Amino acid sequence: MPEITTLAEAVEEFVGDGNTVALEGFTHLIPHAAGHELIRQRRRDLTLIRMTPDVIYDQLIGVGAARKLVFSWGGNPGVGSLPRFRDAIEHGWPGALEIEEHSHAGMAAAWAAGAANLPFGILRGYVGTDLASRTRVATVTCPFTGEELAAVPAHRPDVGIVHAQQADRAGNVQLWGIIGIQKEVVLASSRTIVTVEEIVERLEPRPGGVLLPAFVVDAVCAVPGGAHPSYAHGYYERDNDFYVRWSSISRDRKRFTEWVDRHIYATSDFGDYRRLLGT
């Protein structure tokens, strides 16, 4: 049975320095509050996995929490680039960042393999690209047809963190809308933390929704608004203005550092941060 606990306690208990950690969400339900808590508790040497590292990974990279990034597209969706991600790769600031770069289809196959307890995922992929020589991908031959296929090592992080709309008091979790890769992340990870918009008496089944049963979750934390500036379908909209503002906040090292000091290190939790932000 998962613990129903605070996010601070869950991160304290389940995430250690040097861990491999995935905070996933494909444009929807991105676990920003959990990312902030990793920063607030000054986790270091993390290997961070995510298909689409965006603003929260820009923050984690910019404060020096990450040693390595495994990803397939690193940008600010609909806006442009991630200044801290770029600075780390182009100039090694605030420290060297090792990268392992895939395609979306490769990452998806690696997550599905992890969830299925398989050592690698299979796809028709990476053909005719320079990625093949720069990343962890190999070729396997189909034993039935002889076709050559790409193999990617399964993702098996120490900790998987996702955000969802609801959990019940037993720790069953439900999310709906764009469901992304969250189920695979939870099933592939050794330990899982789920932040939710609210804890309800009873989960109402949603069309196309994903249910994560209590027995695959280690901690459930109620963090209303915990996906902001991403969105939670049925709860609040994407804060597009924040994504646009992030470009200028993050562009300059000093301004970024001051922003993190004031908005993350000097706030007690995500609720405190949201009050400061006025959202």
For binding to another protein (CB under 8 A), which residues are involved?
26-28, 51-52, 71-75, 77-78, 81-82, 85-86, 89-90, 101, 103-106, 108-109, 111-112, 123-131, 134, 177-181, 183-184, 208, 210, 231, 233, 237-238, 240, 243
Q: How many helices (H) and strands (E) does the chain have?
A: 9, 13
Give me the least distance between CB of 181 and another protein, in Å please: 4
- Looking at residue 140, the DSSP 8-state letter turns out to be E
Give me the least distance between CB of 179 and another protein, in Å please: 5
Q: Which residues pair with 152 in a beta bridge?
A: 121
By beta-carbon proximity to another protein, the closer residue of 33 and 108 is 108
Helix (H) or strand (E) holding 220: strand 219-222
Q: Which residues pair with 227 in a beta bridge?
A: none
By beta-carbon proximity to another protein, the closer residue of 89 and 170 is 89
By beta-carbon proximity to another protein, the closer residue of 25 and 264 is 25
Give me the least distance between CB of 31 and another protein, in Å please: 14
Give me the least distance between CB of 256 and another protein, in Å please: 17
- CB 124, CB 98: distance < 8 Å: no
Q: Which residues pair with 212 in a beta bridge?
A: 173
Give me the least distance between CB of 63 and another protein, in Å please: 19
By beta-carbon proximity to another protein, the closer residue of 72 and 195 is 72
By beta-carbon proximity to another protein, the closer residue of 208 and 268 is 208
Per DSSP, the three-state class of 133 is helix
d(CA 279, CA 277): 6
**Count of residues for the chain?**
279
